[in-house]
Amino acid sequence: MRVKLQKVGNSIGTTFPKEILDKLDWQEGDALILVEVEDGIKLIASEPEFEQKFIDVPQPIPGAKQYVKDAQAAYDNQDFEAALEQLKLAIALQPGNFDYYVGQASCYQELGDLDSALRAMEQAIQLAPEFAQLYNIRGQCHAEKLDYDAATNDFIKAIRLDPQAANYYLEEIVNTSYYHPKQYVKILEPIDFAIEQQLQNDCKIYILRGRVHLYYGALNEALEDFRKAVEIATENNSSSDRSLSLCFRSSVYHELGDYASAIEDINRSISSNPKERVNYYWLAFYYLGMGNLSQSLEQMLNLLDTDSQTIERAYTLVWLGVINKLQNDRVLAIKQWGEAIELSGSIDKETSRLRLKGLLLSLVGSREDAIKQYKLSFDKKPILMDLFSAKKSLSTIKNLFPSDRNIQVLYQWFMNYLSSSNKLD
């Protein structure tokens, strides 16, 4: 696409076509990073991870470069021991490069050696004590060890050092949390700290806090957070933030069994951002929950025609099968669930694949096999968001099939297992 350079004040600038801005989700005020490449320049939306990874991190010296390359190749092949050996050789040549210690910490995390991961991060922080991202990484290690106080202190330290990247760090916390349900207040502490640091008008922080409340079942608090998020997004005329806030609030109403409000909010979310596919999925899901099979079927069939990702199509087939089972067309239901099972083999994320198989096996009456799949999924340390999604799916089919003893017993096992495993109340 051709653009024209033109004089802007004492500088030279250009304008971007609206379709490009919409596609990239760039808005006025966004920061971009200009990178020189062989045949010109490349523009990249500024992200804290990118800036810290590629701008601030020391580059390997010539002698260490090959070791780092070999370490990355070993890591990509999941040979973490070999990656560690290569990183040790790189450190011997360039001991002042803290990024090598971060690489070691990642390897140790993958091997389940959290004590060694923490020691590696201590080394990295000694070399770069003002580098905010390091505290975020160490905080994740502490969280995985269930040392909530140390994790919270590190997350707050990261935000103190780099308050402009608060949303990035907080999203990392929420999206990778393994916290005990009774300690969920520890996730809220860095979020509340960020709000106190004059970020209280940031819509995304309220969305994150609302998600934490939602995942842990504090539904009234979640409603208030999403109400505030909708209010700020509306004031800022941000249709994407407004859509996201309404989508999450609809999920709270679903948890409360208020399907009318859930459908109202998800329709408002669609109006704010018609291109967001997940909104149409939740609309179909809510219609199904309230027993409006014709509306749910219509939405699901439309989704099936436009599904581009394997996991999206697989779950659409699951719920189409549920609708057909409710309409006593078990033959078609079994066919659709069979297609979903075939697709599940192509889902990259193992925990998602296992949960999908567990859900499908529960629907066809193979309770013991379903339990095995869910147990395997839990052994992979699923994050809170995954556990919440699994709970939401199972509670829905439990309500749709109240006389199916296999499903009722499975749901009760699921809730007991989560409670006894200290994962989610």
Q: What average pLDDT does range 330-355 have in this prediction?
A: 85
What distances in angstroms separate CA 167 from CA 104, 191, 277, one per listed residue? 26, 9, 24
Checking if the pLDDT of 425 tops 50, the result is: no
Query: Higher model confidence: residue 187 or residue 322?
Result: 322
The single-letter DSSP state of residue 197 is I
Q: Tell me, what's the pLDDT at 126?
A: 94
**Quick check: helix, strand or coil at residue 35?**
strand
What distances in angstroms separate CA 104 from CA 62, 114, 252, 261, 373, one per listed residue? 20, 11, 40, 49, 32
The whole-angstrom separation of Cα 365 and Cα 349 is 25
What is the third-level CATH fold of 6-46? Pemi-like Protein 1; Chain: D (2.10.260)
Q: What average pLDDT does range 245-274 have in this prediction?
A: 94
Which tokens in the block code for residue 254? 């679903």
Contact (CB, 8 A) for 144 and 176: no
Checking if the pLDDT of 406 tops 90, the result is: no
Q: Tell me, what's the pLDDT at 311?
A: 82
DSSP β-ladder status, 11-13 and 40-45: unpaired
Checking if the pLDDT of 137 tops 80, the result is: yes
Residue 260's pLDDT band (cuts 50, 70, 90): very high
Q: Tell me, what's the pLDDT at 100?
A: 93
The whole-angstrom separation of Cα 295 and Cα 21 is 34
The whole-angstrom separation of Cα 425 and Cα 357 is 23
Q: What average pLDDT does range 115-127 have in this prediction?
A: 95
Q: Which of 63-72, 175-184, 323-332, 388-397 has the lowest mean pLDDT?
A: 175-184
Residue 28's pLDDT band (cuts 50, 70, 90): low
The single-letter DSSP state of residue 52 is I
Contact (CB, 8 A) for 24 and 16: no
Q: Tell me, what's the pLDDT at 14?
A: 74
Residue 296 CB neighbours (<10 A) = 23
Residue 101's pLDDT band (cuts 50, 70, 90): very high
Contact (CB, 8 A) for 254 and 396: no
Q: Tell me, what's the pLDDT at 420?
A: 66
Q: Tell me, what's the pLDDT at 328?
A: 92
Give 36-94 pLDDT, tens digit per residue: 433 456 565 544 444 444 345 567 777 788 999 999 999 999 999 999 999 999 999 89
Contact (CB, 8 A) for 49 and 133: yes
Find residue 270's DSSP bridge partners: none
Give 177-216 pLDDT, tens digit per residue: 654 555 677 788 888 888 887 655 678 889 989 998 998 8
The whole-angstrom separation of Cα 280 and Cα 301 is 11
Name the residue ranges covered by the structural domains of the chain. 6-46
Three-point CA angle 183, 382, 79, nearest 5°: 120
Checking if the pLDDT of 102 tops 70, the result is: yes
Residue 12's pLDDT band (cuts 50, 70, 90): low
What distances in angstroms separate CA 374 from CA 136, 367, 413, 414, one per listed residue? 30, 11, 10, 8
- The mean predicted confidence, pLDDT, of the chain is 82
Give 149-167 pLDDT, tens digit per residue: 888 899 889 888 888 778 8
Q: Tell me, what's the pLDDT at 10?
A: 37
What values do phi and psi take at 12, rounded to 5?
-115, 135
pTM of the entire predicted model = 0.72
